[in-house]
Amino acid sequence: MSDDERDAKPLFERVDALLKKAQPVRGPADVPVLTEVVTDELVRRRIGVDRAALERIAHEIEAAMLARLQPELERLVNENLNRALSTALGKALDTVGGELRTAVRHMVREAIAASVANAVKSDPQ
């Protein structure tokens, strides 16, 4: 970097760049230092966001997300409901079909037995 370029940069930008280079990399478990806490607080105050505003924003985001997700949620619910109903209806129809087959066999046996009994009584051998 030439002397002209160095002079063109304001001093505070160069100092700021040096300070940023000197700061250690912090992890998520590290405790913030006082300047970070104060800076965060000042930023929050400057923005003017209070708890009620944050709650309102959160509710608006929630409503917007639900509005966008609603068609997909309905589709998934309908698919699962149709699958569950189909399975339950299939089982119920199998059960009813089995009961009907048993009842029809029983009625046919009784009808055949009654016919044979009538034929035997009316046969004059």
105: confidence class by pLDDT, cuts 50, 70, 90 = very high
Mean pLDDT of 13-38: 67
For residue 56, the model assigns a pLDDT of 87
Mean pLDDT across the chain, nearest whole number? 80
Model pLDDT, residue 93? 93
Asked if residue 6 has pLDDT above 60, the reply is: no
Q: Greatest CA separation found in the chain? A: 138
Q: In this predicted structure, what is the pLDDT of residue 3? A: 58
Per-residue three-class SS string for 25-84: CCCCCCCCCHHHHHHHHHHHHHHCCCHHHHHHHHHHHHHHHHHHHHHHHHHHHHHHHHHH
pLDDT digits 0-9 by tens, 45-86:
666 667 787 788 899 999 999 999 999 999 999 999 999 999
CA dist 46 and 70 (Å) reads 36
Give the C-alpha separation, 73 to 67, whole Å: 10
Distance CA 23, CA 33 (A): 12
- pTM reported for the whole predicted model: 0.37
Q: Supply the DSSP symbol for 23.
A: S
pLDDT at position 17 is: 74
Half-sphere exposure of 86 (CA within 13 A, CB side): 6
